[in-house]
Amino acid sequence: MTKRKVLTPDEVKAQLQDQGITITQWAKDHGYTRNAVYRVLNGFDKAKYGKAHEIAVKLGLKAQPQPDHAAA
């Protein structure tokens, strides 16, 4: 399994800009409100859980959670 590099908010914004995608369009395409995505990107939501965490993971700001193998 390859690990994806965790990005900074500025790197995420630059990637979206390079792809010609606005933050508003990304939010719409992924089923989130524009405001929720901006709050995560600008650090107003810490994205520790819930929708904000989902947004952070999808944007690449946080690593994908690993399944717990201890239950085996």
List pLDDT tens digits, range 15-63.
999 999 999 999 999 999 999 999 999 999 999 999 999 999 999 999 8
Evaluate if pTM is beyond 0.85: no
Helix (H) or strand (E) segment spanning residue 28: helix 23-29
Give 34-46 pLDDT, tens digit per residue: 999 999 999 999 9
Contact 62, 69 (CB under 8 A): no
CA 22/CA 14 separation, integer angstroms: 10
